[in-house]
């Protein structure tokens, strides 16, 4: 059995996530305390108690999701004796989840990862005035068809593919009018469904250029180490491990496409037959069968989940 650990992105957050871990394991509590200290504010209180609208803010959701993923990692390693580096062929994360993967691989410290994600969230939120941008999921068309739809819908504005999540599940991002036009054009082209997403900014498109510049500066200040496990990058759908590659890919990722379908296909092609989602929710687990039909997906976010995974990996 070859295992890849995958880490969720924005949208998987939920008030109360990680609370059971913190209540049961000192190692998990330490993660939330370290993130609070790094940010200089009680993010854990928002994670555990809400309110939901505050947790959903991009600058909170991004470090919060990473904190929950890393709490799972720490409990798995410190309390159950299962080291990520000993069992993972690859790591990967969806959008902000790539930072969680890099933290788990030792490329960034926990406190640095929290600060980077707070900066990233604020920069992405501030890159485009609220209401000017949007994102939409287009279901039932393949990537090439959605690229054609986006190009036709742009009309002098920005409309680009942001996430290639799975066959028949592609997300476009850009100016709100262009994205709305894309939904109409897509339905006329045979899309089964289009869904405007409840996001506060148009992520992973060229409108995020100011945010990319902010992250280039922030990452330039980061002290990073080579990853102990290859991390499959969103923008290349290939494993990267050197500090220079990691920084370059994270800067490009802000405006670039999340190539999740290709990333999953690459890992499956390398023999991965178990994808373990560490953290909140099971969004990525739900995409496993669509991207890697012969592989198994497993969501791990609670003490019971961790115990089950540890028993399995220890054989």
Instruction: Mark whether 38 and 97 lie in a shared domain.
Output: yes
Residue 291 contacts residue 261 (beta carbons within 8 Å) = yes
Digit-coded pLDDT (tens) for 162-199? 999 999 999 999 999 999 999 999 999 999 999 999 88
Number of domains in the chain: 2
Range of the domain at 189: 133-199
pLDDT at 315: 79
68 close to 33: Cβ distance less than 8 angstroms: no
Same domain membership, residue 141 and residue 31: no
Q: Are residues 212 and 281 in the same domain?
A: yes
Check 87, 94, 175, 204 and give the catalytic one.
204
- Determine the Cα–Cα distance for residues 211 and 163; give it in Å rounded to an integer: 18
Which residue out of 44, 95, 100, 200 is catalytically annotated?
95
- Mean pLDDT, range 234-245, rounded to an integer: 92
Structure-block tokens of residue 220: 């330039």
> How would you classify the pairing of strands 274-278 and 296-300?
parallel
**37 and 79: one domain?**
yes
The residue among 91, 102, 111 whose CA lies nearest residue 40 is 111
Distance of CA 296 to the CA centre of its chain: 20
Q: Does the bond joining 51 to the residue before it have cis omega, within 30 degrees of 0?
A: yes
Q: Are residues 111 and 192 in the same domain?
A: no
- pLDDT higher than threshold 90 for residue 234: yes
Is 90 exceeded by the pLDDT of residue 240?
A: no
Active site residue 94: no
What the block records as the tokens of 136 is 């939409």
270, 306: one domain: yes
Annotated catalytic, 87?
A: no
Supply the CATH number for residue 242's domain. 3.40.366.10
Given this model, what pLDDT does residue 24 score? 98
Q: Are 104 and 13 in contact (CB under 8 A)?
A: no
Q: Are residues 99 and 15 in the same domain?
A: yes
């Amino acid at each position: 059995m070859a295992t890849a650990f995958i880490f969720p992105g924005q949208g998987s957050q939920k008030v109360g996530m990680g609370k059971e871990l913190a209540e049961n394991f000192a190692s998990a509590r330490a993660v939330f305390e370290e993130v609070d200290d790094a940010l200089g504010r009680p993010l854990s209180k928002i994670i555990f108690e809400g309110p939901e609208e505050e947790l959903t803010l991009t600058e909170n959701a991004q470090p919060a999701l990473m904190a929950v993923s890393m709490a799972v990692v720490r409990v798995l390693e410190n309390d159950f004796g299962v080291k990520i580096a000993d069992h993972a062929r690859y790591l990967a994360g969806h959008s902000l989840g790539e930072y969680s993967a890099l933290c788990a691989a030792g490329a960034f410290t926990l406190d640095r990862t929290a600060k980077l994600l707070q900066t990233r969230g604020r920069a992405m939120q501030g890159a485009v005035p609220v209401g000017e941008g949007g994102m939409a999921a287009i279901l039932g068309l393949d990537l090439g068809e959605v690229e054609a739809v986006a190009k036709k819908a742009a009309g002098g504005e920005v409309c680009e593919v942001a996430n290639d999540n799975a066959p028949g599940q592609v997300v476009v991002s850009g100016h709100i009018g262009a994205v709305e036009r894309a939904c109409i054009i897509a339905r006329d082209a045979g899309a089964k469904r289009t869904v405007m997403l409840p996001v506060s900014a148009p992520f992973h498109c060229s409108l995020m250029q100011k945010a990319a510049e902010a992250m280039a500066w922030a990452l330039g200040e980061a002290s990073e180490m080579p990853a102990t496990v290859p991390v499959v990058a969103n923008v290349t759908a290939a494993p990267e491990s050197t500090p220079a590659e990691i920084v370059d890919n994270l800067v490009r990722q802000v405006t670039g496409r999340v190539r999740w379908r290709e990333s999953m296909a690459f890992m499956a092609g390398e023999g991965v037959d178990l994808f373990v989602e560490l953290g909140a929710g099971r969004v990525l687990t739900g995409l496993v069968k669509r991207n890697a039909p012969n592989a198994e997906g497993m969501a791990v976010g609670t003490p019971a989940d961790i115990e089950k995974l540890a028993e399995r990996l220890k054989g």
